[in-house]
A and B are shown apart, each in its own frame.
Chain A
């Protein structure tokens, strides 16, 4: 058992290894905006995520004509979670709206390996800037609050948004929300951070959204929200430009508060209220399914009912299954999931029943209805599912007991603890494997060390060999370029050219071309080296004679040839030698 377990772990590691290598290849593009609703002076952060690559790409994004676009840089990510390797590139842009309205941004199109990949598209609403933000724009820090609706119905989700603007450095931010007025504020999502332009002044903004819920009706005066912070101030140092300037900062406690806001909560209208209304306010939908729709008597079928929507989702009711003749109903526990999104609370409730028809025939299942108050249309709505038909064919001849059997089989049996009668040890290992010494202990210590050091040693040898090969290649290339360099240097010599410099350059050329260490050679040594290098005897003799004559000129200070003629003969000889020396 344990052995199997180990094989499984080893296999998993191997599969992870293989998968990790392969999975890096899946590519995709997604477009994301940090907010879906902004004012005209706010900046929107747009991130285009290209997954499955590490190379830079240039996306083409549709719908940006109503925005001024600034690049915000590129970041690449590499991660490995549970052995799955993923790589992606995030390209960030800041969008500044040019006008109010509702705009669709995207899709972004990226070309990877000749293939065009398209992202999703997102919608953003640009509205006018709040008046209190404009009023307070002369302040370095200020806070504004806004309500998504100033008048709403009881149970309706209202958003209370706090925006904190600051153009100076602040620390230790704290928020004091209004409370105890018959309503409850709950933060929704993470605070958003962005920059905004208020009357030509650039501010950084922290936006925090809260869901406001209340059971009371009437007009609420929501008191101001207070933001507390420490504002950092730079202290003037005695010197104008000091490296210690950054250390001389002090913080001063400061607090700002928003304007109070008014909210009117109206009771839900009593007229036209459906009988099954359970207090749901928002937008909801209901769906039902029957699987299978055709069955035999005594066999079970599953009826699923799903309610989903946005609003006060915690009040989604349990739909009751009506009694049906000849059908036994077994209900399952409902599953509910609630999410907090920027659009409010969304939720889903799933209810299931096992239906066991006892007789053959056609049975009508449903319809099932749900009533709610639509905050969009300010009226009650009742939505229903389609009526479903369950066709039941006669099953095998079964007794009542055997009809209950499938249900009984589906229930887990009651388990009993297995108890020992007596206790004793298991017998000795008498198989021949008992004497088998395992491979690790069979090896001596030095054998294990050799095994461990062998792979790095091979690597070291490869590295040394590789570098040696590279070095030889470089030397060969240098030798081939020796003539060109010699010509260049010779041409660069200042006029009037002198013999010692020309001789020095000629020796340098010989050293490079023959791949020598660079020491000072004598004419005799050069002749010998050239002969050994396979140069024709006449040419090596010519070189020897020229070097002797040049050296004589150096030491005596006199030359029997014109300097230009000498240079030409050196050039020609170098050319002949370059051709003659086998590389």
Chain B
């Protein structure tokens, strides 16, 4: 009796999961069709539904970015492309579209010095760095175990090499993880965002930003966000004008 109950439960859960996946796939196909037919708003709703019914993926964010681009909402398009960059930073389609979208942003961003190692790291996905780190991690502790019983010259050299590679992989993973989970950047999603001296409409208007500009978000007060655009441009903007890239 107990066994039958377990089998029924398993079938129910499995069936439910399969049904959910089927629904997601169905919504995804419909969203793609809507995009092809030019019904971009419907495609957006369906892609959002797919995300809500499961995990987000880089491709779903990429597709959302495309929909917003077609609707001429550059801010939202860049926002979703940037979110997709957390998942598929090496995707050539994404890099092409993001570059193209960025070229249409009105505001000139600060020229940042690129760090060579960081830019190399940006090409890798978090999952790739994680698995590379895990292989090195297992190798490192494995060689330590081997050296407990067998202290030979080859095991010493392997230990030295593995320690270095392990440290590099660990640092690389942590840097990437920190970059994603502590990404305080936000995107101007409205066509125009006025930045003021304080969190109030009565405060002095300092400057204005346009859709697609990337800003650094600091803290929120009521319905206002403290942002930093360039090294010398700082102020408060309405929360609905700036959307944070990190959404988890």
CB of A435 within 8 A of CB of B24, answer yes
Contacting B at CB under 8 A, from A425-441, are 425-441
Which stretch (B140-148, B197-205, B217-225, B228-236) binds chain A? B140-148
B179: Cβ under 8 A from any A Cβ: no
A452 x B157 contact (CB < 8 A): no
User: How long is the Cα–Cα vector from A5 to B120 in the complex, in angstroms?
Assistant: 11
0/1 per residue, B49-62, Cβ < 8 Å to A? 01000110101101
The answer to whether residues A6 and B90 also contact, given A437-B54, A456-B141, A459-B144 and a CB cut-off of 8 A, is: yes
| Interface size class, chain B | 35 or more
The CA-CA distance from A463 to B162 in the complex, in Å, is 20
Q: Counting CB contacts under 8 A, is A244 at the interface?
A: no
Residues of A within 8 A of B69 (CB): 425
Task: State whether B87 touches A452 (Cβ < 8 A).
Answer: no
Taking A435-B50, A459-B141 as contacts, is the C-beta distance between A427 and B57 under 8 angstroms? no
Residue of B nearest to A440 (CB): B127
Surface stretch bound by A, among B2-10, B128-136, B185-193: B128-136
Q: Are A425 and B59 in contact (CB under 8 A)?
A: no
B141 near A439 (CB under 8 angstroms)?
Answer: no
Decide if B161 touches A85 in the complex (CB within 8 Å).
yes
**Which of A13, A435, A451 lies in contact with B25, CB distance below 8 A?**
A435
Kindly identify which residue among A426, A431, A434 contacts B96, using a CB–CB cutoff of 8 Å.
A426
Q: Is the CB of A434 within 8 A of B60?
A: yes
B148–A462 CB distance below 8 A: yes
B interface SS class: helix
- Asked if B32 and A428 make an inter-chain contact with CB atoms under 8 angstroms apart, the answer reads yes
> B123, A426: Cβ atoms under 8 Å?
no
Contact partner, A436, options B57, B62, B124, B137, Cβ 8 Å: B57
How far, in whole Å, are A13 and B128 apart by their CA atoms in the complex?
A: 14
- Using known A-B contacts A425-B97, A428-B32, A428-B63, determine if residue A441 contacts B141 with beta carbons closer than 8 Å: no
Majority secondary structure of chain A interface residues (helix, strand, loop or mixed):
helix
- How many residues of chain A have a CB within 8 Å of chain B? 46
**Cα–Cα, bound, A435→B59 (Å):** 7
A437 neighbours in B (Cβ, 8 Å): 54-55, 57
Check A24 against B157 for contact (C-beta < 8 Å).
Answer: yes
Within 8 A of A (CB), among B93-146: 93, 96-97, 100-101, 103, 123-128, 130-132, 134, 137-138, 140-142, 144-145
Please pick, from A10, A80, A429, the residue contacting B59 in the complex, using a CB distance under 8 A: A429
With A10-B132, A13-B165 known as contacts, the answer to whether A428 contacts B157 (CB < 8 A) is no
Scan residues 73-98 of chain A and give those whose CB is less than 8 A from a CB of chain B.
Answer: 80, 83, 85
CA A1 – CA B92 in complex, angstroms? 8
Partner of B157, one of A21, A423, A455, A462: A21
Nearest B-chain residue to A9, judged by Cβ: B120
Select from chain B the residue with minimum beta-carbon distance to A3: B90
Given the known interface contacts A1-B92, A429-B59, A435-B60, the answer about A54 and B153 at a Cβ–Cβ threshold of 8 Å is yes
Q: 4 nearest interchain CB pairs?
A: A434-B59, A440-B127, A455-B141, A429-B59
- Identify the A interface with B (CB < 8 A): 1-3, 5-6, 10, 13, 16-17, 20-21, 24, 54, 80, 83, 85, 423-442, 448, 451-452, 455-456, 458-459, 462-463, 466
A-B contact pairs, 21 of them (CB 8 A): A6-B90, A6-B123, A16-B161, A21-B157, A21-B158, A54-B153, A80-B160, A427-B66, A428-B35, A428-B62, A429-B62, A435-B24, A435-B25, A435-B54, A437-B54, A438-B57, A441-B87, A448-B130, A452-B137, A458-B145, A462-B148
Residues of B within 8 A of A (CB): 24-25, 28, 32, 35, 50, 54-55, 57, 59-60, 62-63, 66-67, 69, 87, 90, 92-93, 96-97, 100-101, 103, 123-128, 130-132, 134, 137-138, 140-142, 144-145, 148-149, 153-154, 157-158, 160-162, 164-165
Q: A426-B93, A435-B59 are in contact. List 8 more A-B contacts (CB 8 A).
A: A1-B92, A21-B157, A85-B157, A85-B160, A429-B62, A430-B32, A458-B145, A462-B145
